[in-house]
Structure 1
Amino acid sequence: MNASFPIGIFDSGVGGLSVLREIRTAFASEDLLYVADSACVPYGDKSPQFVEARSVAIAEFLVDRKAKAIVVACNTATGAAITTLRSRFSVPIVGIEPAVKPAMGKTASGVVAVLATSGTLSSDKFAKLLARFGGDVDILIQPCAGLVEQVEAGELDGEKARALTAKYLLPLLERGADTIILGCTHYPFLAPLIREIAGPKVSIVDPNAAIAHELRRRLENNDLLSPDPRPGTERFWTSGAPDAVKPVISKLWNADVDVRRLPKRYCRLFGL
């Protein structure tokens, strides 16, 4: 494996750009490949088998593009596919999970809320996470149908996004939650809105910085950190319509980017 090869990152859609942002901050000289599986977004309402198959197909694409490591920038895909991905591919693979353990050290009320998709909250991986770290506090779980779609549309503070966020958040605050875990990579883009509704005394826990830290550990252990001092590049693909996805990625990435169509052979299962 060549240390000059790129790092691959994927998500069901544009939410993983919040992870990509942390990775870019931590790794200025790495080349990054990002795949948004926009034709299948959201993963949260899909079967684990479907999400696993899509994750394998996208990982194949990234490996074919010489990715030296893969970041699964999606909680639902991590729960459904991380074991299979690690058994099928020899490159380091980093997943993501709701930051339950870090939240334990932040709560004063002893009540922690997890905002996530139904797919993440119903996964075996999340159940094991709660069993391991959640015993000392009251953990409230809240599936947030519709929030992913708001981010996918680039609607981060519109009337519908505001109403949905308040609908999910206010009952949790009324039950004493003083710590909110963002259990979906789309949700950091809604963090300013969540902060506005929750108020300054509520802690918001975002696991993305920990993902960049774990990626660095894996790359260092495998001697895969890029030796090239030049600034790294980013390339973007989508399984959806590039013309529709490009404006949203450009908005969230704060730059005008080129978005390519994922080749058809990696789009199996949904007839593209």
Structure 2
Amino acid sequence: MTNNNPIGLFDSGIGGTSIWKEIYDVLPNEDTIYLADSKNAPYGQKSKEEIIQLSIKNTEFLLNQNAKIIVVACNTATTNAIKELRAKYDVPFIGIEPAIKPAALNSEKHIIGILATQGTLNSELFHQTAEKYQNTKIIEQIGHGLVGLIENGEINSPEMNHLLHTYLEPMIEANIDYLVLGCSHYPYLIPQIKKILPNHIKIIDSGEAVARQTKKVLIESVGLSDKSKKGKALFYSNSNPKVLDDILQNKYEVIRKDF
């Protein structure tokens, strides 16, 4: 089955580009359209109803660009809105959830930490997943302020370093051996996080699993591109596109557009 329409992705901002990179590595011949709703970032402090409405708006933007599949490259939007999106639209949706399962199954100490937004940690979907691993102690930490700093291009700022120490040191003291990054923005913090965590604590996120699932759904029910050359990547932002440009190392076209 062949389908040359683009893969659509959206996030509350630039963080979902960490998911886009994983998908582009696995499916390099696919066209992609990425939507950064940075004007409304972060989603983690918003109500479930607000998150659903923003997710509908983002979805319709991508469907108007003929997206054949939509990747909700945002943990908060997935855990709060993907059920409603799947009920409303016929297009397949790929969600992103915190990687609790592999962390819990591989943890030798049965103690794992999760750094995520308030919206993700408070969601019904997160609690349903966490309840499956009752023999594992899960240390939850809301990453207040992290997304805002990333969106402002302050990844290496003293404030970021202070917040990460504040959030991670109690997890170290609790003796975790896995840290789950429960927000698609957070993989951009891995270099700083590694400086704080002892070497034995493994860091895990969902990007690779999302890319594999996207490929599987395309093969089984949507169709892959039959192009032999690298796919075209388009990026849209409704806020200052410079941070998105910087994250992408100015290699791709970033379009400033209100939506």
Q: TM-score of the superposition, structure 1-length normalised? A: 0.92
1:93 aligns with 2:93: yes
Secondary structure of 1:260's counterpart equals strand
* Shift of residue 66, structure 1, vs aligned partner: 0.3
Secondary structure of 2:141's counterpart equals strand
Structure 2 spans left out of the alignment, 5+ residues = none
CA deviation profile, 1:163-184 (whole Å, cap 9, x unmatched): 1111100011101111100000
1:1-272 matched pairs, under 5 angstroms: 3-132=3-132, 134-240=133-239, 244=240, 246-263=241-258, 267=259
Distance 1:16 1:53 in 2: 19
Distance 2:191 2:107 in 1: 20
CA deviation profile, 1:26-48 (whole Å, cap 9, x unmatched): 11100110001111100000001
Secondary structure of 1:154's counterpart equals coil
Distance 1:223 1:17 in 2: 22
CA deviation profile, 1:172-215 (whole Å, cap 9, x unmatched): 11011111000000000001111110021111011110000110
What is the root-mean-square deviation of aligned Cα atoms in Å? 1.4
Distance 1:166 1:138 in 2: 21
Distance 1:223 1:213 in 2: 14
Q: Which runs of 4+ in 1 moved over 3 A?
A: none
CA deviation profile, 1:105-155 (whole Å, cap 9, x unmatched): 3322221001000000000000101112x2111111000101111211222
Distance 2:218 2:91 in 1: 10
Q: Is the 8 A contact 1:2 1:68 kept in 2?
A: no
* Shift of residue 255, structure 1, vs aligned partner: 2.6
Q: Structure 2: which amino acid aligns with 1:249? A: L
Secondary structure of 1:71's counterpart equals strand
Secondary structure of 2:33's counterpart equals strand
Structure 1 spans left out of the alignment, 5+ residues = 268-272
Distance 1:61 1:13 in 2: 15
Q: 1:166 to 1:247 in 2, by over 3 A?
A: same
* Shift of residue 258, structure 1, vs aligned partner: 3.2
Q: Is the 8 A contact 1:99 1:207 kept in 2?
A: yes
Q: Structure 1: which amino acid aligns with 2:85? A: L
CA deviation profile, 1:94-115 (whole Å, cap 9, x unmatched): 0010111000133222210010
Q: Is the 8 A contact 2:2 2:226 kept in 1?
A: no
CA deviation profile, 1:58-104 (whole Å, cap 9, x unmatched): 10110110000000000110011101111121111100101110001
Secondary structure of 1:191's counterpart equals helix
Distance 1:29 1:130 in 2: 36
Number of matched residues? 259
Q: Which residue in the other structure is 1:270 paired with?
A: none
* Shift of residue 2, structure 1, vs aligned partner: 6.4
